[in-house]
Amino acid sequence: MATVTGTVASINVLPNSGGTPASTWAKVNLLPQGSTTQETFVLWSESVAVFTPPAQWIARTSALSLLRDALLNKLTVTVTTPTATSALIEQVAV
C-alpha cells in the first residue's frame, strides 16, 4: 500500500463512449503536500457492460462526495493505493 496526502486539484467523472467496450471512469488530480506537480488517480474505471453491485456504487459515490467536499473546501485528503506504482484508489480519508 502507498499513501499520498495533499489537496484535490480536480475531479472528472466521464463516460468513455468512444472506447471498446464503452466504459465509465472517475479521475482525481491531487497536489501532494510539498510538491508543485499534480498526481492523477483513478477512483474507478469500468465497462458499462459489467454489472456493478449497488453496494459498490454506494462506496464509489461516498468517496466521490468526500473528494468533492475536499475540493470545494480546500481540505487535505489522503488517498491509499494498492502499491506505490498503482493509480487506483483503494481508500480516501479527509
Residue 50 has a pLDDT of: 84
Residue 24 has a pLDDT of: 85
CA 14-18-21 angle, to 5 degrees, is 95
How far apart (Å, rounded) are the C-alpha atoms in residues 85 and 30? 15
Phi first, then psi: what are they for 53, rounded to 5°?
-60, 145
Residue 81 has a pLDDT of: 95
Backbone region of residue 80 per phi and psi (left: phi > 0; alpha: psi in -120 to 50; beta: other values): beta
Look at the pTM and tell me if it is higher than 0.85. Answer: yes
In this predicted structure, the answer to whether residue 16 has a pLDDT above a threshold of 80 is no
